[in-house]
Amino acid sequence: SRRALYEKRPVVVNSVIENPNPSNGYDWELDWPAILYVPVGEFGQRPVGLLTVGCRRDHWYSEADVHYAGSLGVTLAPMVEALRRPLGRLNPTESEVAQLLSYGLSESEIARAIKVPERKAKIIVDDVARKLRIVSLEVALSLPAVPARRRELRL
């Protein structure tokens, strides 16, 4: 995976021998005989993420598969970058709370999930909401408004 990020190109890793006793744990990459790592980002630019595609059975990725995955990495870059900007301001606890909020959990449920008192959870939720709020009208206006498509019915 580091090689794909360093070289800024897709990298395929194939095992010579399948692992008969998969661990299903920390070393999951050793259990997958075929893995394709694709940097997510513009060509020649520092990647903003890593797309990992794996196969549980012995498999050889064709050149077309690698090219398609590389194109997908470039295509996903703007979306990943757009998500990283606001979420990059959050510390690990706040990131976890943001994810729990996205699932629709209440403050009391979040407090139980992250094992903190409800008052502390409310403070963290408020901090997350403050950090993710659109700061100025200028930023809001820079986001494109997508008009609703209406179809004309002709008889």
* Domain CATH for 7: 3.30.450.40
In a domain, 44, yes or no: yes
In a domain, 145, yes or no: no
Q: What is the pLDDT of residue 69?
A: 92
Same domain, 82 and 95: no
In a domain, 28, yes or no: yes
Q: Which domain holds residue 55?
A: 1-86
Which pTM was predicted? 0.57
Domain count, the chain: 2
In a domain, 149, yes or no: no
Residue 25 buriedness (CB in 10 A; 0-12 / 13-18 / 19+): exposed
pLDDT tens readout for residues 53-104: 888 777 888 999 999 999 999 999 988 887 777 777 888 899 899 989 988 9
